[in-house]
Amino acid sequence: MELWYTEEHSPNTRFSIKVKKQLFSEQSPFQRVDVFEAEEFGRFLTLDGLMMVTEKDEFIYHDMIVHVPMATNPDIKNVLVIGAGDGGTVRELTRYETIEKIDMVEIDEMVVDVSRKYLQKTACSLDDKRVTLFFEDGLKFVRDKVECYDLIIVDSTDPVGPGEGLFTKEFYGNCYKALSQNGIMVNQHECPYYEAFAHSMKRAHKRISELFPIVKVYQAHIPTYPSGHWLFGFASKTLDPVKDFKKEQWESLNLTTRYYNTELHTGCFAIPNYVKTLLAEARNE
């Protein structure tokens, strides 16, 4: 018998992973939650049939969503994480002893429960004493927050289903308000290669560009995400991720990372011309 997990990356493209067995499958109030075990990728979590994390390559996503802002401002003390129910983002954040508080807002408690049970490699730091979990809608959570976070990480699903509100102008505006004077917002920013994702990417970039004075996009190679070419958005009130990069300070922390390094910190902001063109189109729309 062969069991294959298949995901449509575009209406004309499919990516399939050979599965040993399905470990979990349930419909939460928000989405379908599945966990699989695979020979090559270890365990992996999907939401509504879209890949969230595999044990084989989750380090790439979590390195890039956490260490890029942290190396731009190693003085970050208060962090808000929105989404990220698998715990991988919090795991990387808790490695910084200087961080004092991490609020994590995940709309779907089932994702956290399932990750604690099946994905210990990512969920292992959710009980860190600096972490407070809120099972709420991130969109509502940030509404009344004012200048209280140094970093907001938007580790959301795609802008369909429960993640939709996390791509709105209202949400980005509230994030701006919730950020402290040198605040940084980083968000998962879709892929530039397939049309539907590129559309979401452009919409997010346009809205963020209208609110933040410093707005950049950086990239990583994430093989299990559509096209393998994944983008992150970096938006901030004062700090430029390349000009204000605290290379030596970050290196002195001696954190071991499997993907991120200080050359890549600068390198990942060098994006291809076709992506630059799409982003410029978005800003001028």
Query: Is 175 strand, coil or helix?
Result: helix
For its own copies, the closer CB: 53 or 175: 53
Query: According to the binding rule CB under 8 A, does residue 117 interact with its own copies?
Result: no
Distance in angstroms (rounded) separating the CA atoms of residues 70 and 65 = 9
Work out the widest C-alpha separation in the chain, in whole angstroms.
Answer: 57
Q: Which of 11, 144, 248, 284 binds its own copies (CB under 8 A)?
A: 11
Asked if 57 and 69 touch (Cβ cutoff 8 Å), the reply is: no
Residue 137 CB-half CA count within 13 A: 14
The region of 24-32, 113-121, 143-151, 217-225 touching its own copies under the rule CB under 8 A is 217-225
Q: How far is the CB of 129 from its own copies (least distance, A)?
A: 29
Sign, CA torsion 140/143/148/150:
positive
Instruction: Tell me: is residue 86 an annotated ligand-binding position.
Output: yes
Q: How far is the CB of 156 from its own copies (least distance, A)?
A: 22
Instruction: Determine how β-strand 42-47 pairs with β-strand 32-38.
Output: antiparallel
Residue 214 interacts with its own copies (CB under 8 A)? no
| 254 is a site residue for its own copies (CB under 8 A) | no
128 is in an annotated binding site: no
Which has the closest alpha carbon to 79: 132, 21, 126? Answer: 132
Binding flag, residue 10, its own copies (CB under 8 A): yes
137 in a labelled binding site = yes
Residue 256 annotated as lining a ligand binding site: no
- Whole-number Å distance between alpha carbons of 165 and 204: 11
From residue 44 to residue 83, what is the string marking binding to its own copies with x (rule CB under 8 A)?
-------------x-xx-----------------------
In the numeric block, which tokens belong to residue 262? 């200080």
* b/e sequence 12-43, b meaning 16+ C-beta within 10 Å: eeebebebeeebeeeebebbebbbbebeebbb
The reply to whether 24 sits near its own copies by the rule CB under 8 A is: no
Kindly state the smallest distance separating residue 245's Cβ from its own copies, in Å: 13
Considering only the stretches 35-43, 139-147, 149-157, 233-241, report the one whose residues sit in contact with its own copies under the rule CB under 8 A. Answer: 35-43
Pick 132 or 277: Cβ nearer its own copies: 277
- 21 part of the interface to its own copies, by CB under 8 A: no
First to last CA, the chain: 51
Q: Which residues are catalytic?
A: 155
156 is in an annotated binding site: yes
Which residues contact its own copies (rule: CB under 8 A)?
4, 10-18, 38-41, 57, 59-60, 193, 219, 221, 223, 227-229, 257-261, 263-264, 266-274, 276
